[in-house]
């Protein structure tokens, strides 16, 4: 049993596609013997969405919203306060994609459903927002070679990164640690991860920026 601990019960990792969320979740749950929560990426509408097929955005978004809600209710609520929970998404990130991809009429329906579900979901004690530029994300997406991601357009990623930055500039639901991952390599440079762990040992309030010694 690990004797190490952090001053948090629930960490959520967020950031655009390809930024390295799942890798960091794996490292943190191994280090602190935590519970790993990975969102369901087997959305049956996702491939159609990335191929830009009409109507796929609404189906894709509702599937993700309901899947994320079910997982947060079943897994996070059950494990909270027993072991450290580390998720590769916070529930509230769903709105980033909804407001990017849905029409006004679709948003009317989405917002009504979201407003019913959101109060039932516990907020993270801390969100780690992983930043990266579009070229970094594209390179990481190509290396992991997921079939349904082959059709992601560069323009879509640029828009997504801008939407993430705007969302977390105004986000107040949980404290946020902003981590610029462009010059970090947690799996291959253990020192990068150790610096982040040291940062996480101190309680964070508001928005804080992680600045590793090697990148200053």
Residues serving a catalytic function are 88
Q: Determine the Cα–Cα distance for residues 72 and 1; give it in Å rounded to an integer.
A: 25
- Three-state DSSP class for 127? strand
Count of CB atoms situated within 10 Å of the CB of 47: 16
Separation CA 92–CA 88 (nearest Å): 12
- The SS3 of residue 142 is helix
Produce one character per residue of 118-140: b if its CB has 16 or more CB atoms within 10 Å, e if not. beebeebbbbbbbbbebebbbeb
Question: What tokens does 176 get?
Answer: 């946020």
- Separation between Cα atoms, residue 196 and residue 166, nearest integer Å: 24
Beta-carbon contacts of residue 32 (< 8 Å; ≥ 6 apart): 2, 4, 5, 6, 84, 86
Determine contact, residues 60/45, Cβ cutoff 8 Å. Answer: yes
Residues 6+ apart with CB under 8 A from 162: none
């Amino acid at each position: 049993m690990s004797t190490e601990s952090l001053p948090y019960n629930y960490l959520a990792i967020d950031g655009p596609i390809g930024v390295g969320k799942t890798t960091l979740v794996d490292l943190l749950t191994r280090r602190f013997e935590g519970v790993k929560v990975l969102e369901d990426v087997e959305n049956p509408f996702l491939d159609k969405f990335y191929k830009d097929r009409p109507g796929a955005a609404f189906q894709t978004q509702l599937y993700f919203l309901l899947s994320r809600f079910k997982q947060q209710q079943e897994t996070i609520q059950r494990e909270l306060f027993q072991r450290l929970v580390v998720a590769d998404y916070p529930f509230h990130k769903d709105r980033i994609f909804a407001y990017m991809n849905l029409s006004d009429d679709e948003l009317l329906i989405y917002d009504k459903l979201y407003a019913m579900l959101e109060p039932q979901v516990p907020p993270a004690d801390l969100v780690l927002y992983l930043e990266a530029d579009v070229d970094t994300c594209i390179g990481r997406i190509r290396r992991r070679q997921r079939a349904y991601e082959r059709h992601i357009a560069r323009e879509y990623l640029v828009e997504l990164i801008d939407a993430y930055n705007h969302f977390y500039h105004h986000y107040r639901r949980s404290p946020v640690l902003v981590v610029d991952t462009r010059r970090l390599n947690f799996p291959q440079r253990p020192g990068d991860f150790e610096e982040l762990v040291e940062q996480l040992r101190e309680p964070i309030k508001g928005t804080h920026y992680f600045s590793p010694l090697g990148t200053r």
